[in-house]
Amino acid sequence: MRVVVVDDQTVVREGLVTLLETLPGIEVVGSASDGEEAVDLVAEVSPDVVLMDLRMPRVDGVEATRRIRADHPGTQVVVLTTYADDESIVGALRAGAIGYITKDAGRDHIGRALEAAASGQAVLDPAVQARLVDVAALTRTREGGGPPPDGLTEREAEVLRLIATGRSNAEIGRDLFVSEATVKTHVNRIFAKTGSRDRSQAVAYAHRRGLVG
């Protein structure tokens, strides 16, 4: 797995590079000190995953994520940041990040998050997931509940909620007692109805429409 590290703090950035180089199967192919450098670097080295900080000068992590996902859809972005506030989380997910973990995550947690992202699975830190659930619950309360939006069936909404928890198609199939092929059909319909390009955009949609939790 080819990884790029982005963080404006030199000590943190170099520390992450050193840490990742101790993990089997990971090759750090570059590092950047801000979002603008990150966008240029991704275009140059085509990594599988970018480990992205959020608060940086010139171009922040959200905008860099948006550009990278638009221009290089084969590159996933995992946010690694100190901030787990609602605005940061939603902004990153809307921009196309597939994962969001906080900087108190351990070495193995970061490694698993990168592996999951490389295989297209959404990864959310437990604290981040809790914030999404809380905010979504408030959103549903404000909107008064009602049927799922945009023509989603109740089963599709259920599958979407499970996607938002980071479950794979196989895991969703086991949870709902249906085949993986059936789950894939639901996922494709969800993408079509929500206008989502991938699972990370579907997660952001689920949050915006109050379907998580």
Last residue of a domain, one of 107, 122, 137: 122
Last residue of a domain, one of 75, 98, 122: 122
Domain that holds residue 116: 2-122
Distance of alpha carbon 92 from alpha carbon 142, whole angstroms: 23
Q: Judge whether 62 and 89 are in contact, CB under 8 Å.
A: no
H-run or E-run covering 28: strand 27-32
Both 82 and 162 in a single domain? no
Both 134 and 116 in a single domain? no
Both 107 and 156 in a single domain? no
Q: Would you state the pLDDT for residue 84? A: 62
In a domain, 36, yes or no: yes
Q: How many CB atoms lie within 10 A of CB 157?
A: 19
In a domain, 137, yes or no: yes
C-alpha atoms less than 13 angstroms from C-alpha of 125 in its C-beta half-sphere: 23
Distance of alpha carbon 136 from alpha carbon 208, whole angstroms: 8
Both 27 and 114 in a single domain? yes
pTM for this model (two decimals)? 0.64
In a domain, 192, yes or no: yes
Residue ranges for the chain with pLDDT beneath 50: 137-144
Both 117 and 137 in a single domain? no
Last residue of a domain, one of 122, 142, 175: 122
pLDDT by residue (tens digit) across 154-202? 888 889 988 988 889 998 888 787 888 999 999 999 999 999 999 988 9
In a domain, 188, yes or no: yes
CA-derived radius of gyration, the chain: 17
In a domain, 213, yes or no: no
